[in-house]
Amino acid sequence: MTGAAGRLSFWSAAWVIARRDFLAILTSRAFLFFLLGPLFPLIVGVLAGSIGQSIDRGGGATAPIAVAMEQSDADRVIAAREQFASSLNDFAPPLRKVGALPAGMAPSEFMDAHGSEFSGVLYGSLQSPGLAGSPALLENSKGPLTMLCSWAAAASVPKLPELALTPTAAPDTAQRPRDRLVTAQAAQTLLFLLIMLLAGMVLSNLVEEKGNKIIEILAAAIPMDALFLGKLFAMLGISTVGIAIWGSCAALILMLGGSALGAITAPAVGWTAFFALGTIYFAMGYLLLGSIFLAIGSLATTVREVQTLSMPVTMFQVLVFFFASLAIAHQGDILEWIAIAFPLSSPFAMIARAATQPELWPHALALCWQIACVALFIRLGARLFRRKVMQSGTPQGKAGNAGRRRLWTLLRKGSESRG
């Protein structure tokens, strides 16, 4: 537990911090809000989707088509539709008999008069049918109604054979690289959103700690590197819990909804390796950005300062994300290698690579590089903290004021010399 001369080891110190932060956050109200966080966009999405669906339904999908034909022709075409309605879902829109159009009445005039009741009108005879309605209706119903009229005119409706159904696994989509790019992009976006959410939480956590004035006790007892690492890992633990809960909920919803991952194109490394790599790249991406945010948090004294300082980093990270997204379309080019080599874009570029390329060894190399960068960032952040923050007599504000005074003096002297 402790070093030879009575010092808590680096990892033990990091563990003490990680354990406290993890338990404190897990039992706080903030964690509940953190868990509910993704629910709000989800609710908005579901609501928007259901509104769209209901608009779609109300827009004419269920409104019948008027059959304006002679009595016998109308009966035969409706009978033909009924015969296939059960075996061919939505084969043709519902039909309703209205009688032949009065002489001289154009189908468009009928629709002008009855447009609220019907989505279109089928007119003429079985040998020479006509269809009037919106362009979408004409496009969708042209084929089915032609077939129904043909069967009704032939007076011999074909008997459909019973089709034997054998479900199989999703088709191998190895030949569909474009679909895999979509998988890569989806994974990148998910990674980015999760990382940004958590890095922000780390930042506010450290600022709160400075507000509580406990930071000096921690700094006196353990190395700053261990403090930073402990905080990062505590939040990583929290995020793991969050992702496990979100993942379970999502899986449950997908299962209940009858959907599966088969709907998405399988990544090149396979789903198991992809999930494993995704988890690791999430951790690395979070640790890289989180360590930078921690350094910022250690320099800032107020929430306002944090916002000011973190804004450029956040904007920069958005740019990095777009850069990594761009690199997907340039796989094998110098652009992709730059995205892989640059620490902040490396996890995004590599998860995209996992979706599109089957080799695993580049991931081992990339992870080594990312771990080295995390260690470097933490070390630099801790050093910056000790150099810039732990000084009494010249707090940041005073130093900043002195700097502004010097700048003002220089400007004044400059204007005097010009004058």
Q: Which residues bind other proteins (CB under 8 A)?
A: 1-3, 5-8, 12-13, 16, 20, 24, 28, 212-223, 386, 390-394, 399
68 forms beta bridges with: 123
Q: Kindly tell me which of 215 and 283 has the beta carbon lying closer to other proteins.
A: 215
Minimal distance, residue 374 CB to other proteins, in Å: 23
65 forms beta bridges with: 95, 120
Residue 381 phi, psi (nearest 5): -60, -45
User: Which residues make Cβ contacts (< 8 Å) with residue 186, sequence separation at least 6?
Assistant: 264
Q: CA 37 to CA 33: how far, in whole Å?
A: 6
Q: CA 264 to CA 245: how far, in whole Å?
A: 22
Q: Pseudo-torsion of CA 379, 385, 388, 389, nearest 10°?
A: -170
Q: Report yes or no: 207 and 306 within 8 Å, Cβ to Cβ.
A: yes
Minimal distance, residue 170 CB to other proteins, in Å: 48
Q: Report yes or no: 141 and 62 within 8 Å, Cβ to Cβ.
A: no
Minimal distance, residue 392 CB to other proteins, in Å: 4
Minimal distance, residue 292 CB to other proteins, in Å: 23
Q: Kindly tell me which of 36 and 214 has the beta carbon lying closer to other proteins.
A: 214
Q: Report yes or no: 98 and 75 within 8 Å, Cβ to Cβ.
A: no
Minimal distance, residue 34 CB to other proteins, in Å: 16
Helix (H) or strand (E) holding 97: strand 95-97
Minimal distance, residue 37 CB to other proteins, in Å: 20
Q: Kindly tell me which of 20 and 97 has the beta carbon lying closer to other proteins.
A: 20
DSSP string, 172-240: P-TT-HHHHHHHHHHHHHHHHHHHHHHHHHHHHHHHHHHHTT-HHHHHHHS-HHHHHHHHHHHHHHHHH
| DSSP code of residue 271 | H
Q: Report yes or no: 269 and 343 within 8 Å, Cβ to Cβ.
A: no
348 forms beta bridges with: none
- Residue matched to tokens 């979408």: 136
Minimal distance, residue 210 CB to other proteins, in Å: 9
Q: Kindly tell me which of 221 and 313 has the beta carbon lying closer to other proteins.
A: 221
Residue 174 phi, psi (nearest 5): -55, -25
User: Which residues make Cβ contacts (< 8 Å) with residue 175, sequence separation at least 6?
Assistant: none
Q: Kindly tell me which of 279 and 391 has the beta carbon lying closer to other proteins.
A: 391
Minimal distance, residue 383 CB to other proteins, in Å: 11
Q: CA 226 to CA 386: how far, in whole Å?
A: 13
Minimal distance, residue 360 CB to other proteins, in Å: 40
Q: Kindly tell me which of 69 and 215 has the beta carbon lying closer to other proteins.
A: 215
Q: Report yes or no: 209 and 215 within 8 Å, Cβ to Cβ.
A: yes
Q: Kindly tell me which of 176 and 398 has the beta carbon lying closer to other proteins.
A: 398
Q: Kindly tell me which of 180 and 231 has the beta carbon lying closer to other proteins.
A: 231
Q: Kindly tell me which of 387 and 418 has the beta carbon lying closer to other proteins.
A: 387
Length of the chain: 419
Minimal distance, residue 32 CB to other proteins, in Å: 14
Q: Kindly tell me which of 54 and 391 has the beta carbon lying closer to other proteins.
A: 391
